[in-house]
Amino acid sequence: MTRYPLIAPNPPRLSEQTEALRRIEASGVFSNNGAEVRAFERDVTDRLFGGHGASLAVANATLGLMIAIKQAAQQVGRPDGLALMPSLTFAATGQAALWSGLTPLICDVDPDDWSACRHAEERLLETRGDRISVLVPYATFGNAIDLDRYCWLQRKYGVGVVIDAASSLGTVDDAGNGFGHDSPFATVYSMHATKTFAVAEGGLVHSGDAGLIDQLRAMTNFGFEGSRSATLYGINAKLPEVVAVLAQAKLEQIDAVCDARAELEVAYREGLSGFQLQKVDGRRRAMQFMPVLLPAALAAKRDAITAAMDAAGVGTGRYFSPHLAEQPLFKTHALIEPTPIADTVAARMISLPITDAMTAADATAVAAIFKRVCAEASASVPATVRTRPVARTLLIGGGPAGTALLTAATKRGQLGDFAQGLVVVERDAAIGVGRLGKYAITSDSTATTFLTAVKDNPYPEIAAILDHPAGRAVARYTDAIGVPLVEAGPLIRATGDRLGDIVSANGGELLTGHEALGTRRIDGGMWSTRLRRRADGSEFEQLSHNVVIATGGHQPLDRLAAQQVAGQSLVAQAGDRLLQSDEVLAHGGMAKVADLLSGKRAPKIVVIGGSTSALATIFLILKTAPALPFGEHGITLLHRRPLRPFYPSIEAAQAEGFTDFTPDDICPVSGFVYRLAGFRLEARELVLRMLGVDGRVADPRIRNHRITGDDDAVARSALAEADIVIAALGYRPHALPVFDTDGQPIDLSAAHNRAMVDKHCRVTDAGGAAIPGLYGIGLAAGFVPWGHLGGEASFSGQANGLWQWQNDVGQMIVDQVLGVAAERRAVA
């Protein structure tokens, strides 16, 4: 039986390089950028890069990445920032960033070419650009990715760029140049024995900027620039002279080797028709192996398939599975974005052999074996899927509120019990952050509040998040007014990852990438919830004893259409000048506002509402750079309720001369003044200035007007004169249709602009009666603290706070679910 190893190292024979070896011995120079290394660097620049720029030989590609990343981060002035990279790459990419003092920021990949997802990259540059030091894209499997685009990103965002091209030495781009030709940044290649440009161990850094290569050369030699005195960060990363001899010999062979391997790829592509293959960029790839995706139905059978291939004489691999986001080191030391595409690609990946000994006929034979093995595996896949087990609790929504419920269960060490029979349904690819990270504003919770979810948590994997990069990022704002939500999001995401691991380890199930369409009460007091898998639209039923709705809130258009201001329709008064605050507060929202106001010498904006989002909108408008040219009263706040600042005590309020409160405005538990109704942090400072408390002077750009009635001429005039009107009218819960046993819709209190839940977090019908087994938590659920939870008697409205959800409010639901379960066991 013919055997086809996955990789067969084929470096030049050292025994055939006797003349060069004698030359080294005669020179007495065995390292330190000797004549052999310099000759190879000159020749590889001429042969593969058209003589443009310069090249630097290094001891290995990982060291090349380290020095290039370090230099790029120093150059942009963010030496301890983030290194943005795709998840589908080798561990060396992330390791190099860590050793360079940066935190990997891991993003998803493109579904076709498997390189970094351009939408994810640009979104992260928009939202976290002030912390991103370096982009480290991977030229996946030798593909010639678009380097012109990275030149553009480098200029637009002021970030460094280092290309991980480990498999690409010998790749030719669409213009017929060696990949990396004349690029202004560093491109790093591997010359490891397993690569197409096989030597022994070594790497190459190329750039169109010869000055950059000079600086990197000094860094490979302990940071010495012209003398034996370190002036730069440095390390010993020099390529030995003997290895340079092998590299020079391989350079003579590389075009023939790559051409032969390209023929193998053509044969594979013909033989693997019907399978998903990587989209190719460039004229020729320096192929190391042939990547192919298993059909989705066979992903779970990958081990059996690779075993069958081995039995048939074919070696296989699974580059890169696990990908970075799945590896323990990076879960602990990196910031990880949702990676649904990388998850899917890695789970289905098989690497087939490409070696210098193979012919096109061999590739065709291996493809035929692979197709046969897959066909045999397909025949054993059951035609039907077994019925899903009944869940004790179905949690719909794995965003901040849903994971807050799980966090509450950890506080008393109950998550293991709560996870038994738990199914979590989440639309996104991961639980935790939800839509929180999309907003360009600062939280109305302190860093300490965010960190209490993990600090001293009974579950050590949760407590360890305090030292996670996301935890450290939030901790930097301990003495600040709030935390930018773009920084809070990764902390909640990291917490969600750990919570999900605990749930899964204790018998629970995470259904990410799924959405709930509606739930129906069935005989026996259970619920049947219709779920849909977003990837393919398939639907199925999930039975459960309890359902917890944590789907968050939104600003409904129908409420906007019905809104009256000063006795007239808001839509009629504002027309196409009307925006919602949720749109403005999101990343990119202020760019839209600035665009709408471009050319206005003294623009006028009206913000309607007395909520935190209204004040946050004004604060964001004022701090946006470049500043908008507002004149006096350029921003008008219209609201009906009085604006109240929070105070930690009566004494603190009186010390500032604020006395506009009564005993009913004081929380009997905490002693706080306006504990629930009062504005906090940035919004509070804005309100204090508006009210002139303690001698504060109001910003002349802001006019604060409380609407007096239907005939309020000031409000009408402000709306008529405004260039933009922003409605900050609060949030309503995302609707989940609920049906009774007859299939008839249950009329919920939330449909009548009332709270969705009662004082015990139970969802109520239009008559105010609690619906057994149906709970709600989160933004717009309408929960109002009571009893030992505190709050002022005068408060009306709803209280939304992550700390409350993660503690007393979430615990309220956990206790009820576990208590009911204990009662069932006792009866049984």
The answer to whether domain 557-643+679-730 has CATH 3.40.50 is no
Share of the chain above pLDDT 90, in %: 84
Residue 820's pLDDT is: 61
pLDDT at res. 227: 85
In this predicted structure, the answer to whether residue 387 has a pLDDT above a threshold of 70 is no
Give me the mean pLDDT over the 620-632 stretch.
90
Tell me the average pLDDT of the chain. 93
CA distance 823 to 792: 35
**pLDDT(11) > 50:** yes
Query: So what's the architecture of 400-552+733-827 in CATH?
Result: 3-Layer(bba) Sandwich (3.50)
CB of 755 within 8 A of CB of 795? Answer: no
Residue 381: the pLDDT is: 62
The residues pairing with 748 across neighbouring beta strands, listed in sequence order, are: 765
Q: SS3 for 89?
A: coil
* Domain 54-236 listed as CATH 3.40.640.10: yes
Residues of the chain with CATH 3.50.50: 400-552+733-827, 557-643+679-730
Share of the chain above pLDDT 70, in %: 98
Give the per-residue pLDDT at 823: 56
d(CA 455, CA 435): 24
pLDDT at 735: 77
* Vertex 189: Cα angle to 187 and 193 (nearest 5): 175
What confidence score (pLDDT) does residue 825 get? Answer: 52
What is the tens place of the pLDDT at every residue in 649-687? Answer: 999 999 999 999 999 999 999 999 999 999 998 899 999
Homologous superfamily assigned to 256-379:
Aspartate Aminotransferase, domain 1 (3.90.1150.10)
Q: b vs e for 503-524, b when ≥16 Cβ sit within 10 Å of the residue's Cβ?
A: beeeebbbbbbbbbeebbbeee
CA distances from 556 to 534, 614, 735, 738 (A): 23, 16, 10, 19
- For the cut 70, the answer to whether the pLDDT of residue 283 exceeds it is yes
Model pLDDT for residues 175-214, shown as the tens digit of each residue: 999 999 999 999 999 999 999 999 999 999 999 999 999 9
pLDDT of 338 strictly over 90: no
Average pLDDT over residues 384-390: 69
What are the respective helix, strand and coil percentages of the chain, to the nearest 5? 40, 20, 40
Q: What is the pTM of this model?
A: 0.86
Q: What is the structure's pLDDT at 385?
A: 45
pLDDT digits (tens, 9 = 90+) for 744-796: 999 999 988 889 999 999 999 999 999 999 999 998 898 989 888 889 999 98
The mean per-residue pLDDT over the stretch 601-628 comes to 92
User: What b/e sequence results for 616-648 when a residue is b if at least 16 CB atoms lie within 10 Å of its CB, and e otherwise?
Assistant: bbbbbbbeeeeebebeebbbbbbbeeebbbbbe
Query: Please, where in the chain does CATH 3.40.640.10 lie?
Result: 54-236
Q: Which residue type sits at 527? A: W
pLDDT tens for each residue of 428-454: 888 987 777 788 888 888 999 899 999
In this predicted structure, the answer to whether residue 614 has a pLDDT above a threshold of 80 is yes
| Across 338-357, average pLDDT | 95
